[in-house]
Amino acid sequence: MRRVAVIGTGHSKFCFNSPKTQVELLSEVAIDAINEANIAPKDVQAVNVGNVLGDFEEGQGMVQSFFANDIGCFNVAASRFEGACASGSMAVRDAVMWVASGYYDIMLVGGVEKATAMGTGLATRTFAMFGDSRYEFPAGFTFPAVFALLAHLYSSKYGIPLATLKEQMAAVSVQSHEYAMNNPNAQIHKEITVQDALKSFMVSSPIQLQDACPFTDGAAAVVIASEEVAKKLSKKPVYFAGIGQASSGKLSSQSKYLPRIYARELASQQSYKMAGLTPKDMDLCELHDCFSIAAMIAAEGLGFFEYGKSGEAWQNGETRIGGKIPINISGGLKAKGHPIGATGVSQVYEVTRQLRGDMVDQGRQVEGAKNGIIDTLGGDGVLVSMILTNQ
């Protein structure tokens, strides 16, 4: 297989109540990515789009074809990916395989979502569609509830008193809000304290409002190309060193491993193996912190900390710039925002820009970073991992 690189990136401001349509949001960032890649829309051979709930958000299905047409990628193969919150990552991983195989040389991958258009009630209903509709939704399944179940299980299984765990979870959110202050694309620019988090509205015990990411509107796009094409067009191509994806069934069916997410461990092991790298080789990480406890579970599953120990790592600053592994220097899903179909593409954008050294002006550059990993979790059952490198 050929090496594949990111050669262009685009990212919208993440926000509540965007006045733009999904096609507009995505088209703007796609043209930015195309311009940065020094190509024209006609050079794009195929388009992949992560979009989860466009049907509910603005009555728009099949957004990928209307989007491709709007940006002048006339009549190309355009495909939509739906894997809940991992949809954008699935779209990227799939495109990497098409280019690696030699079938295409240049592809455009985008992700877009207007989750806030649904309002909180419908958004909560539709997000719950990514749990098991027959066997788990009837009990009142929502995503805050899933991670609330895992938080209590984490406390019980690892013998961490709930009050201690809650402080650790708050520390995760505090760090994300702090780094988001330096990300102009972030949805939330407001620092919080541990006390703020512990005093916030109880959503689903023990998950409080400040343990949870917001609903978000936004888009991101990347142009990817074969190494040969990338070297001609880009001064700083960033390569996919490894990719992985795995799935799992309904939450109760994962009983042997919970609160570990086994599919994540499989997906990341695929990435590490393909890259010939280990967790120790990673210089930064963007992981799926839809909830504070989710970030802790992810950091352990990716191999950065022992099981039950990641909360202490956050509290001790090991997840900050200069720490053992800088995590979610973008502000993460918690404060950067989580437009679900776009999230994976946004993570690739962030890590690519870090590996190009583009974050100096924003004051959040991980100096000398060579390798970065992204981790995305979709619903109960899609896990995607990708390792990027500038080497």
Partner 1 sequence: MEYKLTFKDYNKGLKQDKLMGLKCNDCGTVTCPPMMVCANCASTNHEIVQLSGKGKIVTFTTSYIAAEGRENETPYTIAMVELEEGPWIMGNLVSMDTKKVTMDIIGKPVQLGNRVYPGDKYSNGDMARAAFGLIG
What's the residue count for the chain?
391
Query: Nearest distance from residue 156's CB to partner 1, in Å?
Result: 5
Among 81, 141, 215, 291, binds partner 1 (CB under 8 A): 141
Q: Which of the stretches 16-24, 94-102, 107-115, 134-142 binds partner 1 when contact is defined by CB under 8 A?
A: 134-142
Nearest to partner 1 of 128, 246 (CB atom): 128
Query: Which among 30, 91, 129 has a CA at the least distance from the CA of 343?
Result: 91
206 binds partner 1 (CB under 8 A): yes
Q: Which of the stretches 63-71, 196-204, 227-235, 326-334 binds partner 1 when contact is defined by CB under 8 A?
A: 196-204
Among 35, 101, 133, 164, binds partner 1 (CB under 8 A): 133
Q: Which of the stretches 17-25, 246-254, 282-290, 371-379 binds partner 1 when contact is defined by CB under 8 A?
A: 246-254
- Looking at residue 253, the DSSP 8-state letter turns out to be G
Nearest to partner 1 of 117, 275 (CB atom): 117
Residue 236 structure tokens: 């700083």
CA–CA distances in Å: residue 81 to residues 17, 125, 276: 23, 20, 28
Among 125, 260, 309, 324, binds partner 1 (CB under 8 A): 125
Residue tagged active-site, from 15, 85, 285, 290:
85
Nearest to partner 1 of 66, 135 (CB atom): 135
Residue tagged active-site, from 11, 177, 288, 338:
338
Among 16, 137, 158, 307, binds partner 1 (CB under 8 A): 137
Question: Total number of residues binding partner 1 (CB under 8 A)?
Answer: 41
- Within residues 151-190, the interface with partner 1 by CB under 8 A covers 151-153, 155-156, 162
Indicate if 338 belongs to the active site: yes
Question: Is beta strand 77-81 parallel, antiparallel or unpaired with respect to 46-50?
Answer: parallel
Nearest to partner 1 of 19, 121 (CB atom): 121
Distance from C-alpha of 1 to C-alpha of 301, rounded to nearest angstrom: 28
Q: Which of the stretches 37-45, 96-104, 200-208, 224-232 binds partner 1 when contact is defined by CB under 8 A?
A: 200-208
Distance from C-alpha of 113 to C-alpha of 123, rounded to nearest angstrom: 12
CA–CA distances in Å: residue 265 to residues 154, 210, 261, 388: 17, 27, 7, 18
Query: Which among 126, 105, 131, 129 has a CA at the least distance from the CA of 116?
Result: 126
Indicate if 213 belongs to the active site: no
316 binds partner 1 (CB under 8 A): no
Among 29, 95, 96, 148, binds partner 1 (CB under 8 A): 148
Distance from C-alpha of 94 to C-alpha of 106, rounded to nearest angstrom: 13
Among 17, 19, 59, 134, binds partner 1 (CB under 8 A): 134
Among 19, 59, 75, 121, binds partner 1 (CB under 8 A): 121
Collapsed DSSP state (helix, strand, coil) of residue 224: strand
Among 255, 280, 360, 368, binds partner 1 (CB under 8 A): 255
Query: Which among 238, 206, 188 has a CA at the least distance from the CA of 354?
Result: 238
Nearest to partner 1 of 66, 307 (CB atom): 307
124 binds partner 1 (CB under 8 A): yes
Residue 124, CA atoms < 13 Å, CB-side half-sphere = 12
Among 128, 169, 197, 298, binds partner 1 (CB under 8 A): 128
Query: Nearest distance from residue 164's CB to partner 1, in Å?
Result: 12
Region of 303 (left: φ > 0; alpha: ψ -120 to 50; beta: rest) is: left
- Those residues whose C-beta lies under 8 Å from the C-beta of residue 22, and which sit 6 or more positions away, are 51, 54, 57, 58, 60, 63, 67, 112, 113, 114, 219
Distance from C-alpha of 171 to C-alpha of 193, rounded to nearest angstrom: 8
Q: Which of the stretches 67-75, 94-102, 142-150, 358-366 binds partner 1 when contact is defined by CB under 8 A?
A: 142-150
CA–CA distances in Å: residue 280 to residues 231, 284, 348: 28, 10, 20
79 binds partner 1 (CB under 8 A): no
- Looking at residue 327, the DSSP 8-state letter turns out to be B
Residues identified as active-site: 85, 338
Q: Residues interacting with partner 1, by CB under 8 A?
A: 120-122, 124-125, 128-129, 133-142, 144-145, 148-153, 155-156, 162, 201-207, 249-253, 255
